[in-house]
């Protein structure tokens, strides 16, 4: 089996947030997971892309079934994957995997169609894998191409023009519950990009009293200064949770930070006055049962998807144009990879033709020589010219055959006709 690109994972299309959070891999864990995958059967290079919408293992696999089994073993060992969970995962390979990765990079496989954050997330995942020594010639080339395709899609189509994001959708839901947000108090737990976007949209909707809470208070202060908000201490967490009309959570904490008991205490202290809790995190920051408490309106990523899907339906034309670009890019990139895989065969063929021509020239010297210096030069030049013409013609045919099967058949034919060494053909079949 030839090496190829494979993507094994799950995303918002195949699984709810309750499943995605179970298989989310934090940054410290990714280094160890990458090193283990490199020692696993079927995998030569690997990248782990883990976001709120997906956990994907992007691998250069010399054996896709074996690579998938290696990922399965890792998930079973570290995340207690059960047989029933496997239905949430997909296994993509070759052109389907290329198309998927290009779509991911371009925001076409996002819950918010065209969202730009995923491009940065893919770049960061690639950099992390490179730092871990988990990528090489193939995945480096493929990710670079995916990022270039993303840039082209965003330049040539309006796919990224929508202002709708998860934080914006969160504001829409908050307005549905509370009405006018003027004068409302907003508590942001987390000081990342999601919190920044949420703060901007909340302020645009009329909320003027914004508080920021982060595990590191200095980071909260820096973030609050940027947003003209108030930094508050985690020591007074419940106090600020009780006073907030809207709570937005988007931390990277691996466990719940607003428990069911916290939610009950908050609702009771507020006399069950309406409060909107928006959980943008994976794993989730708020116990999913909090929404069952009177007065608390809890929205997680699954809730927000219904809002963003309305916008996606209106942008199908842009998505169709972007997908056409991706289809063209995949086809061109595949031709490039197919051309590269036959290079060892072409080199071996040229060497073999040179050897045959030199043998014939030497035979002519012995049978019909000695030749003058000019005659010998003409004879050598003619032999080299014939070698070049035959090698160039066969190289062109090998590179331009549109399908892998045809290319393999011609490679075998070249081997048989010109007695190219078997080791060269084997190497060619694994060069991709």
List active site positions: 52
Residue whose token pair is 């914006």: 168
CB neighbour class for 100 (10 Å; exposed up to 12, middle 13-18, buried from 19): buried
The C-alpha atoms of residue 261 and residue 87 are separated, in whole angstroms, by: 33
Q: What is the DSSP letter of 249?
A: E
Answer for the pair 362, 302: CB distance below 8 angstroms, yes or no: no
CB count, 10 Å around CB of 224?
21
Cis peptide before 47 (omega within 30 of 0): no
CB atoms within 10 A of CB 20: 25
Q: At what angle do helices 117-131 and 94-105 cross, to 10 degrees?
A: 120
Under 8 Å CB-to-CB from 288, ≥6 apart: which residues? 18, 298, 300
DSSP H/E element including 330: helix 316-341
Which residue in the block uniquely carries the two structure tokens 């600020």?
240
Residue 313, Cβ density class (10 Å: 0-12 exposed, 13-18 middle, ≥19 buried): exposed
């Amino acid at each position: 089996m030839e090496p190829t690109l494979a993507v094994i994972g799950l995303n918002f299309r195949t699984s709810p947030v309750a499943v995605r959070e179970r298989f989310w891999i934090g940054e410290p864990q990714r280094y160890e997971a990458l090193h283990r995958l490199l020692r696993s059967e079927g995998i030569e290079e690997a990248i782990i892309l883990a976001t709120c919408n997906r956990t994907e293992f992007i691998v250069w696999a010399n054996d896709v079934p074996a690579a998938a089994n290696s990922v399965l073993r890792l998930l079973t060992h570290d995340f207690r994957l059960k047989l029933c969970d496997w239905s949430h995962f997909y296994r993509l390979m070759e052109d389907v995997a290329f198309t998927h990765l290009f779509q991911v990079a371009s925001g076409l496989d996002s819950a918010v169609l065209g969202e730009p954050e995923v491009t940065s997330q893919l770049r960061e995942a690639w950099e992390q894998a490179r730092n871990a020594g988990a990528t090489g010639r193939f995945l480096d080339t493929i990710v670079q191409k995916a990022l270039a395709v993303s840039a082209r899609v965003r330049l040539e189509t309006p796919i990224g023009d929508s202002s709708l994001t998860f934080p914006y959708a969160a504001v829409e839901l908050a307005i549905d519950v509370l009405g006018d947000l003027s004068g409302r108090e907003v508590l942001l737990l987390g000081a990342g990009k999601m919190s920044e976007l949420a703060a901007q949209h909340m302020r645009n909707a009329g909320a003027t009293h914004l508080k920021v809470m982060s595990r590191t208070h200095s980071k909260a202060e820096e973030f609050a200064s940027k947003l003209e908000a108030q930094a508050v201490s985690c020591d007074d967490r419940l106090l600020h949770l009780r006073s907030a009309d809207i709570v937005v959570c988007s931390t990277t904490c691996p466990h719940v930070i607003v428990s069911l008991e916290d939610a009950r205490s908050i609702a009771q202290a507020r006399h069950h006055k309406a409060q909107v809790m928006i959980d943008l995190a994976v794993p989730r920051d708020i116990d999913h049962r909090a929404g069952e408490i009177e007065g608390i309106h809890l929205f997680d990523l699954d809730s927000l998807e219904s809002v963003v899907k309305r916008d996606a339906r209106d942008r199908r034309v842009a998505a169709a144009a972007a997908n056409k670009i991706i289809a063209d890019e995949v086809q061109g990139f595949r031709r490039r990879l197919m051309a590269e895989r036959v290079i060892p065969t072409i080199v071996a063929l040229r060497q073999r033709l040179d050897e045959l021509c030199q043998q014939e020239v030497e035979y002519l010297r012995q049978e019909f020589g000695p030749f003058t210096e000019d005659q010998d030069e003409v004879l050598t030049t003619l032999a080299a010219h014939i070698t070049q013409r035959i090698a160039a013609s066969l190289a062109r045919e090998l590179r331009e055959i549109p399908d892998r099967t045809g290319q393999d058949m011609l490679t075998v034919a070249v081997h048989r006709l010109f007695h190219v060494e078997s080791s060269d053909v084997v190497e060619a079949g694994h060069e991709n």
